[in-house]
Structure 1
C-alpha cells in the first residue's frame, strides 16, 4: 500500500465525521425539525395534564387501550410511567412521522433546493455523503425519542409522585433501576425507527421533490399501520416494520422477555439492509448534476 493510500484511509474517517456533523446541524437548524421536536415534547405534557385532570377528583386513569400495556393507569402511582405511556402513545404515529419527514427530505430536499450538486462537487463522495445523511437521520431518531422521554420524565415529576417502581409483572424495583429501564426503553424505541429511516431515505433518492418524498414516506407509514391491524392479513404482519414496535414493554417486566424485541431488531436490520442498499444503488448511479 502506497503512502498516499495510507494517508487517504486515515483522513477518510475524519472527513466523514465532519460531514456527519454538518448534516446533523443542518437537520436540527431547520424550523420544520424544531417544530416536530416541539410537538414530540408537547405530547407527554398533554397526556400528563389529561391524566391529572381525570384523577383530580379521586378517579382512576384509563388503561392502555388496543391491547397494549396499561401504562396510563399506573401514572398516578408513579410519574416515571408517563415516560413509558408517552413513548407508547407517540411510537405508532408521531415519532415515525417525524422520522419520515426528516428522512424523506434528506436527499430530495437538497436536490430540490439545488444544494445537492454543490455537495457532490466537494471531495465527499456519494457513498460517504449518503452514509452521513443516514447517520444524521439515525441521530434524529435518538434525539426525538429522548425529547419525548425527558419531557415525560419532567412532566411526571411535576404532576405525580416518584419512588420505587412496581413493574408490569408485579415486582418492585428501586427508582434508579426504573430510571435505567426507562433509558433502555428509549434506546429500544430509537432502534425500532431505523427501518422506516432507511425506507424514507430510499424514497428520498427517487425524486427531486422533498414534499413528495415526505408525503410518500408518511403515506406508507399510515398504510402499513392499517395493514398491521387487519386480522385477515396476519400472515404478512410479522414482516411489517411496525409490527414489533411495542415490544419495548417487555423491558418493564421481571424477568425481561427478549423474544419479541429480538424479532424487532432482526426485522429492523433487514429493512436497513434492503432499503439502505437500494438507496445506495440509486444514489450512486443517479444523474444529479444534469
Structure 2
C-alpha cells in the first residue's frame, strides 16, 4: 500500500471524517424540498387543531370531549395552551409522524441507488457500515426534528390562542408551568425515540430495492398494516410485539408521579426493532452488489 493510500485510509477512518459524512447527509436531507414539505405539513397540524378548538369554543360548543372525539388532552387546551403540545403529538404520532419518517428512511439507500449516486458515495474507502450508520443517524435526527416541529408549533399556537399557567396532570395534581414545559420536552424526546423502530425498518427496506418510491411505499404500507393489526382485539397476543403498540404511553409522563412502566416497555421494544432491523440492513447492505 502506498503512502498516499495509507493517508487516505487514515483520514476516512477517523471519527472526524465520520462526523463529516453524517453532517453531509444531514445537510442533504434537510435541503430537499420533500423534507421541507413534510415538516411544513407537520407544523400545520397543531395550527389546524388550535384554530378548530378556538372556533368551536368561541361559539359555545364543547372543547373536544363533548362528542367523544379527539385525543384526551383536547379537553384541557382551552384552560391551558400547553396542552396543545400533548394533543398535537397524540394526533400526529399514529399516522403523520411515522409516515414522514417512513418516507425519509425508505429513501435513504434506495433513493441514492435510484439516482445513481450510491456507488459514488462508496468510492472513498470509508466502508459501507459507516455510510449506513450515517444514514440511520440522519433518519433519527429527522425523527427528533419532526417531533420538535410539531411541539414548537403547538406551543406557539397554544400560547397565542389560549391562556397559559399551572398544569393539571392526569392524576389531578397541579404543577408549575415551568415543570409543565419540562414534561413537554420529555414527552417530545420519548415520542422521537418511539419513532426509531420505524426508522430502522424503513432503512432495512431501503436496502432491498433500488427504487426510492417502492421503498417509501412499502414502509408506509407496513406501517398501516401493523396499525390495523394492533387495532384488532382478537390479535391481542401479538400486540405487545408490534412497534406502535406502546406509542401512546407518553401520556403517562403527565402523571404525578410519572408512571414509567409502559414508557420503558415502549423504549425497550423500539430498541429491539432497531437491533433486529438495523442488523438486517447492515447484513444486506454490506453484501449487496452496488451497480448504481
TM (normalized to structure 1)?
0.95
Matches within 5 A, 1:221-240: 221-240=223-242
Instruction: Look up the match of 2:3.
Output: none
Instruction: Look up the match of 1:41.
Output: 43
Instruction: Look up the match of 2:114.
Output: 112
Distance 1:42 1:123 in 2: 43
Q: CA deviation at 1:66?
A: 8.6
Matches within 5 A, 1:1-290: 8=10, 12-63=14-65, 70-289=72-291
Query: Alpha carbons of 1:167 and 1:68: their partners in 2 closer, same or farther (altered >3 Å)?
Result: farther
Q: CA deviation at 1:64?
A: 10
Distance 2:267 2:72 in 1: 24
Distance 2:104 2:20 in 1: 20
* 8 Å CA contact retained: 1:64, 1:70: no
Q: CA deviation at 1:12?
A: 1.9
Paired residue total = 286
Query: Alpha carbons of 1:35 and 1:150: their partners in 2 closer, same or farther (altered >3 Å)?
Result: same
* 8 Å CA contact retained: 2:85, 2:184: yes
* 8 Å CA contact retained: 2:11, 2:17: no
* 8 Å CA contact retained: 2:201, 2:219: yes
Question: Gaps (5+ residues) in structure 2?
Answer: 1-5
* 8 Å CA contact retained: 2:252, 2:258: yes
* 1:140-196 residue CA offsets vs partner (Å, 9 max, x unmatched): 000000000000000000000001111111111110000000000000000000000
Q: CA deviation at 1:19?
A: 0.3
Question: Gaps (5+ residues) in structure 1?
Answer: none
Query: Alpha carbons of 1:64 and 1:249: their partners in 2 closer, same or farther (altered >3 Å)?
Result: farther
Runs of 4+ in 1 over 4 A off after TM superposition: 64-69
Q: CA deviation at 1:124?
A: 2.3
* 8 Å CA contact retained: 1:64, 1:72: no
* 1:1-51 residue CA offsets vs partner (Å, 9 max, x unmatched): xxx89x949952111100000001111011000000000000000000000
SS in 1 for 2:122: helix
* 8 Å CA contact retained: 2:111, 2:211: yes
* 8 Å CA contact retained: 1:126, 1:283: yes
Q: How big is the alpha-carbon RMSD for the aligned residues of Structure 1 and Structure 2?
A: 1.9
Query: Alpha carbons of 1:259 and 1:66: their partners in 2 closer, same or farther (altered >3 Å)?
Result: farther
